[in-house]
Structure 1
Amino acid sequence: MRNDELVKFKQILILGYGVEGKASYDYLKKIHPEAKVAYADEKDDLDYLKKQYEFDLVIKTPGIQKNLVKTKYTTATNIFFANFKGKIIGVTGTKGKSTTVTLIYRILKASGFDAFPAGNIGLPALAYLMTSKKKEQICVYELSSYQLDDINFSPHIGVLTSLFPDHMNYHSSFEDYVNAKMNITRYQTEDDFFIYNPKITSIDKYLPQIKSQKIPFSKKIPVSSDDLKIKGDHNIDNIRASLTATRLFGVKNDKVSRVIMDFEGLPHRMQNLGRFSNITFIDDAAATTPQSTIYAIKTICNVNTIFLGGQDRGYRFDDLCHIIDQSSIENIVLYKDTGEKIKQLLSKLSKRKFNYLTANDLKQGVSWAYKITKPNTTCLLSMASPSYSIWKNFNQKGDQFKYYVLKYAP
């Protein structure tokens, strides 16, 4: 919704008042100071949805399903797209979004472009919009399936990093989830670009319908994988996606090479916390799906202890259990709600006997890991489930893991 349309509404409700909701409030107060602006959030009132009927317009936070809003509404994402004057590179995918956004942003900055990241990386988009006036600016925007579910615009360049089941508590099926992700291309024209991973077969039926120029990830990167600080095939794919997107701006290989060789990865994404008591501790708290944890086990050598479990979103853990059965893992720390489900499935699928600890917090888990993990091996936090059964988010979980790893270090 454009600003000239927004200012026609006199009473506006922000539905959901987290980081993005607060940015929306500040934005409205700046562009439309005469309006009555209020907010409603579930943490303050379980009946918060009823307040929508008292206002002319609702600005919906992404985490609230669109079918719950029965009155006229828009979103912060739509407001940003309608009013930003520069180019937008939108990045979506089940995993790899934040890493790819960061790499694209850093490559563009190193090449002299006026770029900024928005979404989970950087500030909320509307916070930038309050100061951004330049047409030559480039926004590298991390877009979730929640944001894309009711988007009315598409970015000039859309990037899809990966695709496997996630957020099944929000989307009614995997097909609906894919549909939401593919909305990134819905409003593109022949002058736009869609960059995708050709390994993703679930989008094959969508490709003929896309009007923009379709470009698969670059096959090669300008440096040896041995020279990279980030490891794993999935990270190579993130680099390829970043390369493909930034080459549309004419960046040179020397700039790209320096950025990707210097990049150490983001916190909580297979982050090496160090070696203590002859044990290497890896924080992969951002791994909130079984597939993400499979990536970690395949990438990280000699894992002896793993932390698993979290909120139950109906994921299937069969493939993960087969990978664990074939791995060097001997010790497993389990957390509610999915920990017991993983344990029972592993008991059925594997003839091996694992050492288990069902823990209530990370203090208990890390203490046990120090005692039971073999020397010269790895202890991996990569829980294959969302964090919300115990923690506020994966950042809090990863921070706590790091705190106790360092606290119990000799």
Structure 2
Amino acid sequence: MKNLTIMEHKKVLVLGLAKSGVAAAELLHKMGAFVTVNDAKPFEENKDAQKLLQQGITVICGRHPEDLLDEGFELVIKNPGIPYSNIIVEDAVKRGIPVWTEVELAYLISEAPMIGITGSNGKTTTTTLLYHILNQGGLKPLIAGNIGTVACTVTENAKADNIIVTELSSFQLMGTETFKPKIAIWTNLFEAHIDYHGSMEAYGNAKFGITRNQDATDYLIYNADQEIVASYARKSNAHLIPFTTTHINEAGISADDEMIYWLGKPFMKRDIIALPGKHNLENVLAAVAAAIIMNCPKDKMEHVLNSFNGVKHRTQFVREWKKRKIFNDSKATNTLATRSALAAFKQPIVLLAGGLDRGHSFEELRPFMSNVHAVVVSGQTADRFAEFASSCGVKTIAHAKDIQEAVPKAAELSNEGDVILLSPACASWDQYPNFETRGDLFIEAVMKLN
């Protein structure tokens, strides 16, 4: 860990706890800062706050006092999920007090180079795949960020010979000032989180934080097939590495039906890739480009690509059952993600869909429903999705009360050679606390098929 004294004797407010807030507060305390934590959860119910108080950190819980910043704080580090409309954040911005997420702190103390990965979709798959490739290549990667491991905790313990592969959300990137990854990857940009950012432009500008401070010694690997991402890339000062699946690109990495090309020359065969779908091919191209830049041996890349079946709950292969292949895509909480999953398969599909009803249209899925011959619906949107599927020409539609009931129904409706796919196109909160729980129950039910 470097820059050990940059926070010494500074008065810092950590706003919001959860994993990132706790990690930031503990690290700042070790670095000699005067730390105050403010969290909305009452102290009696707040085990994190109780733990921090025992370490000698000032804790204010149960409310966000409007006059809190009168205490003379020099820096605010906020939980990424707290919006900028929060009264304390708004006040800090008005007073000119820097407002960071812990990612900025992680960057400032890191002895290891960082690879930052962002995008509306594909972040987790690309991050995980790249980590496994670099690990297989002996490059000592560590994984961090939005994927579940707090970045500042990882960088605190990293050495100069590590590489930190970091998944980053727009929420996290908004709270950075000097963050400058050695390699940045921007997978794509679709409309999302407008309730947080206010507009698509603000959302894109937040994502641009992945490359805003990069220079010619750094690399930006970006989706050249999306003009909106390409337009942001043209504003970057980094060495640009485009990826594309539409043509052979001599400036970056690309693919056709048979090969992956690096700088326009054949690099490896496509048929070694285990992950299905065009969207995953894009993730593979981005990860392979980063691995090439990091001088990872080609045979190690091929070994991982041939065995990597995806991230849990993201078009995850679960098992083959009576000549049907079953996939868990519980993370598909919107139509865009389900569209990508449907497009990944050429086989006939039995689709399990439905969940929380936010009133969103399913029309984006219509061009991708041609391979779906049966649908099992559940959750609040069951009737709406059933009506939509019927309008797409799906002949067989069944209702289930939950995922556990949906799995045997889907199995009964399937034929040899089919794909049975959970890709709900809806959030899970009508029946489950999160998409992970929904996916785990799906896997459990699938494993009970006999």
Alignment correspondent of 1:141: 166
Query: Residue 195 of structure 2: SS of its match in structure 1?
Result: coil
- The answer for the alignment partner of 2:210 in structure 1 is 184
Q: 2:138 aligns with which of 86, 92, 112?
A: 112
Amino acid in the other structure paired with 2:165: V
Aligned to 2:341: 296
Shift of 1:318: 1.4
TM-score, structure 2 length as denominator?
A: 0.79
Cα deviation 1:103-154 (Å, max 9, x = unaligned): 222222333323211124462112213322x333221110111112232123
Q: Which has the higher contact order (CA 8 A, sep 6+)?
A: 1
RMSD: 2.9
Map residues 5-404 of structure 1 onto 2, 5 A cutoff: 5-10=6-11, 12-15=13-16, 17-32=17-32, 35-37=35-37, 39-41=39-41, 50-51=64-65, 53-54=67-68, 56=73, 57-68=75-86, 69-70=89-90, 71=92, 72=97, 73-121=99-147, 123-132=149-158, 134-152=159-177, 153-217=179-243, 218-219=253-254, 220=260, 222-276=267-321, 279-311=324-356, 315-324=360-369, 326-336=370-380, 338-346=381-389, 349-350=391-392, 352-357=394-399, 359=401, 361-374=402-415, 376-404=417-445
Matches of 2:122 and 2:68, distance apart in 1: 40
One-letter amino acid matched to 2:7: L
DSSP 3-state at the match of 1:256: helix
User: 1:11, 1:176 → 2: CA distance?
Assistant: 27
Mean alpha-carbon deviation: is it higher for 4-13 or for 76-85?
4-13
Q: CA deviation at 1:224?
A: 2.7
What SS is found at the alignment partner of 2:191?
coil
Q: Deviations over 1:350-393 (max 9, x none)?
A: 3554414263x322322433444445423211112333343333
Contact kept? 2:377, 2:406, Cα under 8 Å = yes
Would you say how many aligned residue pairs link Structure 1 and Structure 2? 401
Once the 2 structures are TM-superposed, how far is the Cα of residue 21 of structure 1 from its aligned partner? 2.6
Distance in 2 of aligned mates of 1:129 and 1:243: 24
SS of aligned partner of 1:169: helix
Percent identical: 29
Unaligned runs of 5+ in 2: 47-60, 244-252, 255-259, 262-266
Q: Answer whether contact 1:167 1:313 (CA < 8 A) is retained.
A: no
Output the TM-score relative to the length of structure 1: 0.86
CA 1:227–1:135: 2 relative to 1, 3 Å: closer
> Partners of 2:215 and 2:358 in 1: how far apart?
36
| Unmatched runs of 5 consecutive residues or more in structure 1 | none
Q: Quick one: structure 1 residues 5 and 386, their matched pair in 2 at CA, closer, same or farther if it must change by over 3 Å?
A: farther
Distance change in 2, residues 1:391/1:175 (3 Å): farther
Q: Is the 8 A contact 1:168 1:313 kept in 2?
A: no
Compared CA separation, residues 32 and 248, structure 1 to 2 (3 A): same
1:387 is paired with a residue of what secondary structure?
coil
In the TM superposition, what is the alpha-carbon distance from 1:402 to its structure 2 partner? Answer: 0.8
**Cα distance, 1:36 vs structure 2:** 4.5
